[in-house]
Structure 1
């Protein structure tokens, strides 16, 4: 019994760490309780107060009075460790976990979505921003929204290095979360390099199954210098990152309606939708299912990395509030 109680308390501490690490300002107990409810976890005011007092004494949180609580450096460090540990394993498991944890509401355009995080050295930011903007302008991205972390700022629970700028791009797994909330169960089959000609998808030249890797496929392709997003952005033939999903054929009629709402929310990312049981981009699909190709969110970053810029990218990095995202055109301020 004692073990069960301790496990429950540990789960609640991890929840507080997760919520506060993504908050842009201190949060009070009322707001924290509401966030618990958003995750389907009920907690009484008294239990939460006692938990927060204990976290204060552990050095994980700081009580700012009426302003609420915020994480200490120790709390931020532990929050990052917990996120990393909870998502360790094969990419398909990580994708399902993040998609199920999303709180984004397409109708209200609020809540959390999944982002990738890339660290770009300041001395290369002008060249990188130019390539990233070009890729977004060409539509080789998941949507039009990004997040930016400046040097020494706390961004997604971590301090940005003093010689770098952090850029968060919307991850393609966001589509899984949106579909899931719409009652469309989605299977992430593989990530690959999709051949493009005249801005049209042709076939997958290379693929890596999500169930067989612990590293995101596009991260692998980027490290191997196998992408040519910059060429495609310039109207040439090339290879871009994309993910292949399967959904039940009975849900086919729902997709166009939600795709339209996603586009309005600047989260356009579906490249192609197949027909029940028919191959899509040369990829066979099981009977009773439909293939869907989703744009990889790291494509704009890949375009910059193709210019031999040393960028560190982390796909499916974590959840991030949609309302804190901004339009990619803000990157123009970095172009010299």
Structure 2
């Protein structure tokens, strides 16, 4: 595809989505799938890209039923290098953080939310785990939204015997900083070693710019965390992320973080000094680092306990007025 990188990335993702379906896919469903992957496009824009791809022979139309990917489209998708998706995670996260409307002065607006599907029998245990995380300042925000079985919300359908649990993603804190005029850069996601409740160092890191999938999901999948051990003994491995912020904005950043902490928000492990490493990871010149607990920590903790949980993080926007405080 010899067009701009942004359009090419969108069209590659459209081909990728269509390749995952056996039958025709319409623009409405495709729009929802694209949103899950960080592409916030209007239905009109989706139809525009579909028409372009069909004209190139990459898609086949099936009247009102939608479109399917052709063999030529599969070949094009196969040629699309992973390098074209580098930076995708950063772009998606920044878009979500910028688009959230939560106003900390009024406690209103939308927050970026993670969602987990789990057995309804695990609801109480999961909430208790979240309370334990909050008591140790390891929870982004003390709010949840619960979907009962056989209900739908934000493109999530909760099957029988399950519940959907929405929690506040730490991208909401990024949103607060961004809308306060504080620019930030997504640095790394990784594992932080905690000893006697004190974060010591990053033992594993992945750059957001150098991967096509969210780094924290990799560590959960590889079962490298020990969050429950941290809750029980004060020592273990935590999921954490790192941002960089201009040094001039440090005092304002600290003021905002302290204000949110008074409201029960947490998850801030370390606020570094300008030009100083954070938990062993260097920062760029004239910037300071901030290390946050990963927003998927509650779900990851339950996975450690053997629970079968499907987590999508981050997933959507939820008005904080619809959430309850734990």
Fold match (TM-score > 0.5): yes
In the alignment, what sits opposite 2:139? 141
Q: CA deviation at 1:129?
A: 4.1
Q: Indicate if the aligned counterparts of 2:228 and 2:304 stay in contact, CA closer than 8 A.
A: yes
1:179-258 counterparts in 2 under 5 A? 179-258=177-256
In the alignment, what sits opposite 1:83? 35
Q: CA deviation at 1:184?
A: 0.6
Query: 2:256 and 2:135 mapped to 1: Cα distance?
Result: 23
Query: 1:303 and 1:132 mapped to 2: Cα distance?
Result: 9
Query: 1:326 and 1:139 mapped to 2: Cα distance?
Result: 18
User: CA distance change for structure 1 residues 168 and 278 in 2, over 3 Å: closer, same or farther?
Assistant: same
Secondary structure, aligned partner of 1:205: strand
Offset from partner CA, 1:114-139 (integer Å, 9 cap, x none) = 11111112244454444344333333
- In structure 2, the gaps of 5 or more residues are 1-25, 41-84
User: CA distance change for structure 1 residues 161 and 75 in 2, over 3 Å: closer, same or farther?
Assistant: farther
Q: Indicate if the aligned counterparts of 1:111 and 1:322 stay in contact, CA closer than 8 A.
A: yes
Secondary structure, aligned partner of 1:278: coil
Offset from partner CA, 1:216-252 (integer Å, 9 cap, x none) = 2222111111111101011331011111000000101
In the alignment, what sits opposite 2:293? 295
| 144-153 vs 179-188, which moves further | 144-153
Query: 2:121 and 2:194 mapped to 1: Cα distance?
Result: 31
Secondary structure, aligned partner of 1:135: helix
In the alignment, what sits opposite 1:272? 270
User: CA distance change for structure 1 residues 195 and 101 in 2, over 3 Å: closer, same or farther?
Assistant: same
In the alignment, what sits opposite 1:304? 302
TM-score if structure 1 supplies the norm length? 0.71
User: CA distance change for structure 1 residues 149 and 77 in 2, over 3 Å: closer, same or farther?
Assistant: farther
Q: CA deviation at 1:85?
A: 5.0
Q: CA deviation at 1:76?
A: 7.9
> How many equivalent residue pairs?
255
User: CA distance change for structure 1 residues 302 and 193 in 2, over 3 Å: closer, same or farther?
Assistant: same
- In structure 1, the gaps of 5 or more residues are 1-73, 329-336
Query: 2:291 and 2:151 mapped to 1: Cα distance?
Result: 35
Q: CA deviation at 1:75?
A: 9.9
Q: CA deviation at 1:141?
A: 1.5
User: CA distance change for structure 1 residues 87 and 137 in 2, over 3 Å: closer, same or farther?
Assistant: farther
Query: 2:308 and 2:28 mapped to 1: Cα distance?
Result: 26
CA RMSD of aligned residues (A): 2.1
The answer to whether the aligner puts 1:109 opposite 2:107 as a matched pair is yes
| 318-327 vs 194-203, which moves further | 318-327
Q: Indicate if the aligned counterparts of 2:142 and 2:264 stay in contact, CA closer than 8 A.
A: yes
In the alignment, what sits opposite 2:315? 317
Offset from partner CA, 1:243-293 (integer Å, 9 cap, x none) = 100000010110121112212343323221111101111011112000111
Q: Indicate if the aligned counterparts of 2:138 and 2:266 stay in contact, CA closer than 8 A.
A: no
